[in-house]
Chain A
Amino acid sequence: MSPHSARIRPRRLSRAFLHRRPTHLAGLTCGLLLCTVLAGCGSPGVGTTGTGSAPATGASPRTGSASAGADLSGTLTVFAAASLKSTFTDLATKFESDHPSSRIRLSFAGSSDLVTQISEGAPADVFASADNANMSKLETASLLAAASANFASNVLTIAVPPGNPAGIGSFKDLGRSGVKVVVCAPQVPCGAAAAKVEQATGSTVKPVSEESSVTDVLGKVSSGEADAGLVYVTDARGAGSKVTAIDFPEAAKAVNTYPIATVAGSPHKELAAAFIALVTGPVGQKVLLAAGFGKP
Chain B
Amino acid sequence: MRGAGRGHGTITIPLWIWVFAAAGGFFILLPLAAMVTRVNWPQFVPLVTSVPSLTALGLSLRTSAVSTVLCLVLGVPLAMVLARGQFPGQRLLRSLVLLPLVLPPVVGGIALLYTFGRRGLLGSSLSVLGIQITFSTTAVVLAQTFVALPFLVLSLEGSLRSAGTRYEAAAATLGAGPGTVLRRVTLPLVLPGLASGAVLAFARSLGEFGATLTFAGSLEGVTRTLPLEIYLQRETDPDTAVALSLVLVLIAVVIVGLTFRRTTSGLLKSGRTRDA
Interface residues of A (CB under 8 A from B): 4, 7, 10-11, 13-14, 17-18, 21, 24-25, 28-29, 32-33, 110, 112, 116, 180, 182, 185, 187-188, 207-212, 216, 219-220, 223-226
Say which size band chain B's interface belongs to. Answer: 35 or more
- In the complex, which residues of chain A have a beta carbon less than 8 angstroms from the beta carbon of B218? 185, 209-212, 216
| CB of A239, distance to nearest CB on chain B (Å) | 16
Q: How far is the CA of A17 from the CA of B19 in the complex (A)?
A: 11
**B204-221 with Cβ < 8 A to chain A:** 213-214, 216-220
- Apart from A21-B15, A28-B19, A187-B233, what are 13 other A-B pairs with CB-CB below 8 Å? A4-B5, A14-B15, A32-B27, A187-B232, A187-B235, A188-B232, A209-B218, A209-B223, A210-B218, A210-B219, A212-B213, A224-B118, A226-B135
The answer to whether the Cβ of B273 comes within 8 Å of any Cβ in the partner chain is no
* B219–A13 touching, CB < 8 Å: no
Q: How far is the CA of A226 from the CA of B118 in the complex (A)?
A: 9
Q: How far is the CA of A216 from the CA of B134 in the complex (A)?
A: 14
Contact flags B10-42 to A (C-beta < 8 A → 1, else 0): 001011001100110011001000000000000
The answer to whether the Cβ of B117 comes within 8 Å of any Cβ in the partner chain is yes
With A216-B213, A225-B134 known to touch, is A207 a contact of B219 (CB < 8 Å)?
yes
Q: Which residue of B lies closest to A180 (CB)?
A: B135
- In the complex, which residues of chain A have a beta carbon less than 8 angstroms from the beta carbon of B18? 21
- In the complex, which residues of chain B have a beta carbon less than 8 angstroms from the beta carbon of A212? 213, 218, 228, 231-232, 235
* B19–A208 touching, CB < 8 Å: no
The answer to whether the Cβ of B100 comes within 8 Å of any Cβ in the partner chain is no
- In the complex, which residues of chain B have a beta carbon less than 8 angstroms from the beta carbon of A25? 19, 22-23
12 pairs, CB–CB < 8 Å, chain A vs chain B: A21-B19, A32-B27, A112-B235, A116-B234, A187-B237, A210-B218, A211-B217, A211-B218, A212-B218, A223-B117, A225-B117, A226-B135
* A13–B15 touching, CB < 8 Å: yes
- In the complex, which residues of chain A have a beta carbon less than 8 angstroms from the beta carbon of B19? 21, 24-25, 28
* B233–A28 touching, CB < 8 Å: no
With A110-B235, A187-B236, A212-B231 known to touch, is A10 a contact of B14 (CB < 8 Å)?
yes
**B92-108 with Cβ < 8 A to chain A:** none
Q: Which residue of A lies closest to B1 (CB)?
A: A1
* A223–B219 touching, CB < 8 Å: no
- In the complex, which residues of chain B have a beta carbon less than 8 angstroms from the beta carbon of A226? 135
Contact flags B133-164 to A (C-beta < 8 A → 1, else 0): 01100000000000000000000000000000
| CB of B17, distance to nearest CB on chain A (Å) | 9
The answer to whether the Cβ of B91 comes within 8 Å of any Cβ in the partner chain is no
